[in-house]
Every structure is written in C-alpha cells, then in structure tokens.
Amino acid sequence: MPSSKKNKEETKRSHPAEKTRLHPRNRHRARYDFKHLTELCPGLQTEVKVNDYGDETIDFARPDAVRLLNKALLMSSYDIITWDIPEGYLCPPIPGRADYIHYAADLLSQKNFGKIPTGDRILCLDIGIGANIIYPIIGVKEYGWSFIGSDTDASAIEAAQKTTDSNDLLQNRVDLRHQNEPEAIFKNILQVNEYVDFTICNPPFHASAEEALAVNKRKNSHLKPTEPGKSVRNFGGQPNELWCIGGEDAFVRQMITESIMFKNNCFWFTTLISKQSNMRRAHAALEKAGITEIKIIPMGQGNKTSRILAWTFLDAGQQRDWAKKRWR
C-alpha cells in the first residue's frame, strides 16, 4: 500500500468520534450527521463532499456552505424553523457559541449552590448580537433564559428581529436594541433601573480593515478555497463585526470602563478574549477599576484556544441577595 494512502487510512482510524475539548453539555461534541442535516436542509446536500479520508464534510472556505450548515444545525438542535442572514454578515461556528453559553451557565451556578439558574427571569445582555442571533437561540433553548441584544448595525438588528418573529422558541424572549452611539457599549442600552444577570460579547478582534484582510488571507491559505487566488471570509462579517480602532484590546478596556457606571446593574460582566496578551492588559484594567472578583475560563475548539474573562463588582452579601431574589 502506498505510504500516502496508508497514512490517510491511519488518520481516519484514529480520528476521534467526539470533540472532547468542547463543553460536556455541548450538543456538537459528536461528528456532524450529514445524512440527518441534509434531510432537514436539502440545500446543504450540494455542499457535502467526501474528503481524502472518506469522511463527509463541507468546504469551510465557502461562505454559502457554512451558512447552510449553520441553518441545518439550528434546525436540528435548537428547534429553529426559519433562519438566515444577509449576505456578508458574520456566520459564526455554532459549537463555539454553544460553549460560551454553557460556561456562562456554569458561572452562574457557582453562586447558586451548584444549580444552574433557568427560566425567563434570567436575563443576559448580548453585546453585538449580529444578524445571526445565535447566542440567544442557544440560551433560550438550553436554559429558557431571556436576552437583550444590542448592535450598532441597524440592518443586523432588523435581520435578528425577523428571525425572532419567525420562531416560536424566541417569542417574548429577545429584546433587540439599536446602539446609536458606535463607541458606546452599555450606555444607551442598559437603563438605570434595569438588571441583567450576565453579559456576553465577542469583541471585534482586529485593529483595522487591513489587519482583518491579512488574517483572512492567512486563514484561507489553510482552508484551500475552491477558487484559488480569491480571498473570501468563510464566516463573513461586516466591518463593525471584525475590527474597531484599537482592536480587541481597546474594545475590552472600554467595556471595563463602562461597566463601572453599571456595576450594580449586572452580576457578571463577561467577554471573550482571543489573545493572551490582551488578557494581561484587561486584568490590569480590572484591578484599577476596583472589581470584587475576576474569573478566567479557558475554552478550546479544535486547535484554537480562547478564554472568557468575567468580573463582578458585587461583594459577597450583594451576590447572595442577588441570587436569592432572582435565581431561586
């Protein structure tokens, strides 16, 4: 047997049946069942290919393929009947989004005698909800939570509203709010006497459009796009979803600064951080802000590692009162 064929067969035999780096409650730890997914979403069928190892997969360099896979997964796992996003908007990988939600649930449980608070009284603020509205879909389905979703892009809010209105699961569970001040995060969104149990956020990673383009080109070189020489963003993304002045570092530090003004309105402020160097700077900013408690939660999908940064201004007594009033 030729060595290249032998190596491929060995790789297939040793390929794990379960994605063990994902959270234990994540519905996507098993390999994708493309037979089931294509039955739910027939349009996905044309995107399914057999790779060199005999495994069914899709071309993750094709935005349409990723969009159709997401659509099928939302139908299969989260009871979403109607879902779509405008062309060019961010279409993120669902397993990673699910992990964030499950780790957020664990975070709440740590202050509730190990029990995850569920039901529509639990309120999450999704900062930069996007047109895809995936975090609320997962949070409502898994834990029955309610969501406020903010975004600076009015078209994204409109698309998210269409998904909300079209699916019974999301009815009366998602309150969408347009952030009309691009540099603000909590201001204009959270009201003075409004309380949320936690926030979630995927900050824009890049500091400029040029940086975002360069990273995308490097990523495409690994994905081997079907149209060589053509740079496409397989997961899409509008400028405000991909970059901001100062990038992830500046966004998170602005988030920390604004959280001080709303320190009694939220139990846990959380955000994803992709770069370890940004975590160090964020940690320093939090210490200056006078936070009561900080947690860093590692997450891993495939070969990529990211982390959730969580902080609270509530002291032990305030935390107990909050949990007693809202979670039990």
DSSP state of 293: E
Average pLDDT over residues 258-283: 95
Cα–Cα separations (whole angstroms), residue 79 to 31, 76, 133, 168, 170: 19, 6, 14, 9, 10
What are the tokens at 208? 């400029």
Task: Return the pLDDT at 146.
Answer: 98
pLDDT band at 204 (very low <50, low <70, confident <90, very high): confident
Q: Was domain 86-326 assigned CATH 3.40.50.150?
A: yes
User: What is the spatial distance between Cα 147 and Cα 105, in angstroms, rounded to a whole number?
Assistant: 14
DSSP annotation of 207 reads: S
pLDDT of res. 53: 85
pLDDT tens readout for residues 104-137 = 999 999 999 999 999 999 999 999 999 999 999 9
pLDDT score at 72: 98
Write the DSSP symbol of residue 268. E
Lowest average pLDDT, out of 34-48, 114-128, 129-143, 195-209, goes to 195-209
Sheet holding 196-201: strands in order across? 174-178, 146-151, 123-127, 196-201, 266-273, 304-312, 293-301
CB 96 within 8 A of CB 135: no
Q: Which residue has the higher pLDDT, 11 or 173?
A: 173
Mean pLDDT, residues 268-293:
94
Better-predicted residue by pLDDT, 159 or 182: 159
Q: Tell me: the pLDDT tens digits for 297-313? A: 999 866 678 999 999 99
* Predicted TM-score (pTM) above 0.85: yes
The C-alpha R_g of the chain, in whole angstroms, comes to 20
pLDDT tens, position by position, 208-256: 444 444 444 444 444 455 554 444 444 455 455 444 577 899 999 999 9
